[in-house]
Amino acid sequence: MRPSEAFDSNRQLAAGKRTIALPMANNPESPLDLLWKEYSLVFKDFDDLTLARWLAQTLSQLEEKAWRLSHPLLGAYRLASQAGQERHIWLKRLANPPQAYAESPCCRSPMLPLLTRDVKDAGLICQHCNDTLVPFDEIPAEARPELETWANDYSVVHAVAHWDDRQRKAAGDYDHAYETAAKDAEKLLCRAGEKLAVKLLEFYPAVVWEDQDECLEVRPEDVRF
Ligand SMILES: [Zn+2]
């Protein structure tokens, strides 16, 4: 199967400003996205104090681990944090986040970085506001070379999903090239989860990594250690 046009246009949101969708939801009008919206209602019913405590408590559960973006706990946290952002929950100081989490420069919520294939352009992404949390240059130097190599490797593989007609023809069997790229992406995503995100735990209390590639149709269940 080929990536749909919708995926393509979603991807090409200005470089470095890709909207990181909730797990497996890519199109705001899709049935899946509407379902996530329905899920999120539970947090709308929480009062501010309850929500602040839930977020702080969950952050302590997340500590010292690298998390798949697709993990249900992360999904729940992202929904809760969206509700929290709308209500400026962290600015109200209703509950203290665990000490290990410094304040984010982007939105003053606790630092919870997301590692994506766009790390070179977009840096590490804030799980609370989806803005850049740590620009690439500000990631500790010990971690950067490995991230850079990985991101370069990934972009070559990922580009196959966006080849134009000329490039597809030149490849001969495009379906085969696409399948090969998807397999390579699976391996690279494994490396992100197993090595790179774990290495980042030396610098951040918890790290989330994107375990899918919608353009190459790599799903979280395809990324296995
Ligand atoms: Zn932020």
Give the pLDDT band (50/70/90) at residue 17: low
Residues with CB under 5 A from ligand 1 (ion): 104, 106-107, 126, 128-129
Max intra-chain CA distance, the chain: 60
- Domain boundaries, position 96: 5-222
Mean pLDDT of 217-225: 96
**What is residue 29's predicted lDDT score, i.e. its pLDDT?**
79
- DSSP class per residue in 30-97: SHHHHHHHHHHHHHHTS-HHHHHHHHHHHHHHHTT-EEETT-HHHHHHHHHHHHHHHTTTTTTT-SPP
Compute, in angstroms, the gap from residue 81 CA to the centroid of ligand 1: 10
Residue 2, pLDDT > 70, answer no
Compute, in angstroms, the gap from residue 157 CA to the centroid of ligand 1: 29
Give the pLDDT band (50/70/90) at residue 46: very high
Residue 13, pLDDT > 70, answer no
Mean pLDDT of 185-204: 98
Distance CA 159, CA 184 (A): 12
When computed from its CA atoms, the radius of gyration of the chain, rounded to whole angstroms, is 18
Which of 18-22, 46-50, 90-94, 120-124 shows the lowest mean pLDDT across its residues?
18-22
Of all residues in the chain, the percent with pLDDT exceeding 70 is 88
Compute, in angstroms, the gap from residue 208 CA to the centroid of ligand 1: 14
Contact 211, 70 (CB under 8 A): yes
Contact 110, 59 (CB under 8 A): yes
- Number of folded domains in the chain? 1
Q: What is the mean pLDDT of the chain?
A: 90
Residue 111 phi, psi (nearest 5): -70, 115
Distance CA 37, CA 63 (A): 26
Amino acid at the residue 8: D
Residue 1, pLDDT > 70, answer no
Closest alpha carbon to 131 in 49, 20, 48, 207: 20
Q: In the chain, count H helices and then E strands.
A: 9, 5
Does the pTM exceed 0.85?
yes
